[in-house]
Structure 1
Amino acid sequence: MDQHGQATVTIVANQSGTAGNLSSPADTELVSAPMGINSRAIIQTLAGGTEAETNASLLARLLDIIRRPPAGGNKYDYRRWALEVPGVTNAFVYPLRRGLGTVDIAITSADGLPSADIIKAVQDHIDDVRPVTAKSSLVLAPALRPVNFVIEVVLDGITLEAASQEITNVITDAAGRLAPGEPLIRSQIEMRISLIPGIRDRRIIAPVENVIALVDRNHLEWLRVGRITVRLFS
């Protein structure tokens, strides 16, 4: 308890799954607050909740082992080791990002950022199984970088509301396929929007060019969708 009578505590969801994840602060109220404690509280963030692994996901991991059998610590081994930890839904390996002898592993959880506990669990697991000669391995969460879109369209037989939803789906799907560090190619978004029935013409106002994620020894950006604005040609 600090001088203002406030305290920060760690909480855990009582049910597994993504429903308990929370990306922004939210007000809540304790059901049975201890005597002398105000029942009002603020939940800062909750992360790391994932759904049970599907048969398709399990099969994909099995096929990955068959296609790329253990090889004494190559980049595919590091990815497989990370995926062995509960709560990790994907992993991306970046050899030599911080120099010779280094291997960095960016992990995601439920298509979002992992919790600090998951990052530590993956780091501990990799430190336990990696080759003893490996100089330095670092498990981290990528830094989210939102990309805002402004799209102008000419419509034919479709409402602006329907076009906006279709365009949002297209952009979200395209950006959702990007790995941390990968660029967003503007022309690919344009092509996919052009294929939407009812859109006769389109123009991307923003971004004005390809969006390049910053990747160096201190940064690893992950491009995500920000605000999407769709309007008629002006």
Structure 2
Amino acid sequence: MGEDYRIGSRLWLIYRQRLSRDTAGAVINRKDGIKYTLNNSVTIGLDGTALTPVTAVLVSPLDDPAAGGALGNAPVGTVLTLDNSYSGVDSQVTLMNPATGGANVETDGPLRTRMLLAYQALPQGGSETDYVNWALAVSGVTRTWCVRRLMGVGTVGIYIMCDGDDQTNHGFPAGTDGLSHYEDWGSYAKATGDQLRVADAIYPNQTITALVYVASPIPKVIDFAITGIIEQEQDLTAAISTAINLVFFTRGDPAGEGIVTLSSINAAIASAPGTDGFLMTYPTQNITLGVGELPQLGTVTIT
């Protein structure tokens, strides 16, 4: 897992060559104790900054299954500190792109689901289920959908989600949409972050005529208003939110034909303890999803 970090510096030009020789493998620290190393030597530019990819240093899952590769993920703007000081160089390091690609060890449940899908849909040389299974095989990817001709004739669209222990992005992939960096045809941008990992993983398997475009769904935020609960002895917001999120997780589909029915949401809320007598006053109609849209819970107001 590696992303670009920018190192602010007050370094004079006489230090540029020295810094270039010494910094490969240098350790930088996050405030919670997670460490990263610089992949390459760094030369400070004339503008006083430098860019370099870094890699998170984590405990091996063989030593600690709970260590979690997701611990190395971090959002844009994360500030780190150089482990060793360099004369004239600011010790502060700032994440310019999100650090992505870290995923915890797959648990038995998701593994079993993937295995059943693979047994039910044998490889067909590039069918829709093939693309779904190829994407799900990438670490950290938990849901995926294949859309024919998403970007026009000859294209195959792959929407991905990265639900898991790391919820900093509500399960949406961290990166930008696009093609594999191996793809040398087409005018579309190359993907970055999670989308790039999936595009690169699919590229060796895809049909030779396909132009595979990996994208993040677009969150469609839905607010809820609920009233009429007979005896509200505790704050039920968390329980109701969990029930709604489960419906969104199972019913959400960005392929363009997704519908989340109010009846399914009402049934989920009714199953939460303490909601007897509730009445959902908003939304008032089934939630329809356009191409690329995936429902995301907004605010839940209980009166």
Say whether residues 1:173 and 2:225 are aligned partners.
no
**Would the alpha carbon gap of residues 39 and 214 (structure 1) be closer, same or farther in structure 2, given more than 3 Å must change?**
farther
**Would the alpha carbon gap of residues 62 and 151 (structure 1) be closer, same or farther in structure 2, given more than 3 Å must change?**
same
Q: Distance in 1 between matches of 2:46 and 2:244?
A: 47
Any conservation in 2 of the 1:183–1:223 contact (CA below 8 Å)? no
Q: Distance in 2 between matches of 1:12 and 1:186?
A: 45
Identity across matched positions, percent: 24
Instruction: Please identify, of 49-58 and 165-174, the stretch whose mean Cα deviation from structure 2 is larger.
Output: 49-58
**Would the alpha carbon gap of residues 174 and 35 (structure 1) be closer, same or farther in structure 2, given more than 3 Å must change?**
farther
Which residue number corresponds to residue 136 of structure 2?
83
Larger helix share, 1 or 2? 1
Say whether residues 1:96 and 2:172 are aligned partners.
no
Which residue number corresponds to residue 123 of structure 2?
70
Which residue number corresponds to residue 112 of structure 1?
172
Which residue number corresponds to residue 56 of structure 1?
109
Give the AA of the match of 2:217: P
Any conservation in 2 of the 1:176–1:224 contact (CA below 8 Å)? no
SS at match of 1:12: strand
TM-score scaled by length of structure 1: 0.77
**Would the alpha carbon gap of residues 99 and 4 (structure 1) be closer, same or farther in structure 2, given more than 3 Å must change?**
closer
Q: Distance in 2 between matches of 1:211 and 1:7?
A: 47
Q: Alpha-carbon deviations, 1:150-203, whole Å to 9, x = none?
A: 323233344241x22211211222223323343433342233223333223334
Q: CA deviation at 1:74?
A: 0.9
Say whether residues 1:140 and 2:140 are aligned partners.
no
**Would the alpha carbon gap of residues 193 and 118 (structure 1) be closer, same or farther in structure 2, given more than 3 Å must change?**
closer
Q: Distance in 1 between matches of 2:195 and 2:275?
A: 44
Which residue number corresponds to residue 56 of structure 2?
13
Which residue number corresponds to residue 224 of structure 2?
150
Which residue number corresponds to residue 222 of structure 1?
294
TM-score scaled by length of structure 2: 0.62
Q: CA deviation at 1:24?
A: 6.0
The structure whose Rg is larger is 2
SS at match of 1:152: strand
Q: CA deviation at 1:6?
A: 4.7
Q: Distance in 2 between matches of 1:20 and 1:125?
A: 21
Q: Distance in 2 between matches of 1:195 and 1:84?
A: 33
Say whether residues 1:122 and 2:122 are aligned partners.
no
Any conservation in 2 of the 1:94–1:105 contact (CA below 8 Å)? yes
Any conservation in 1 of the 2:225–2:283 contact (CA below 8 Å)? no
Give the AA of the match of 2:214: V
Q: Distance in 2 between matches of 1:22 and 1:95?
A: 33
Q: Distance in 2 between matches of 1:52 and 1:151?
A: 38
**Would the alpha carbon gap of residues 197 and 54 (structure 1) be closer, same or farther in structure 2, given more than 3 Å must change?**
closer
**Would the alpha carbon gap of residues 65 and 3 (structure 1) be closer, same or farther in structure 2, given more than 3 Å must change?**
same
**Would the alpha carbon gap of residues 47 and 96 (structure 1) be closer, same or farther in structure 2, given more than 3 Å must change?**
same
SS at match of 1:11: strand
Q: CA deviation at 1:77?
A: 1.1
Q: Distance in 1 between matches of 2:102 and 2:253?
A: 20
User: Gapped runs of 5+ residues in structure 1?
Assistant: none
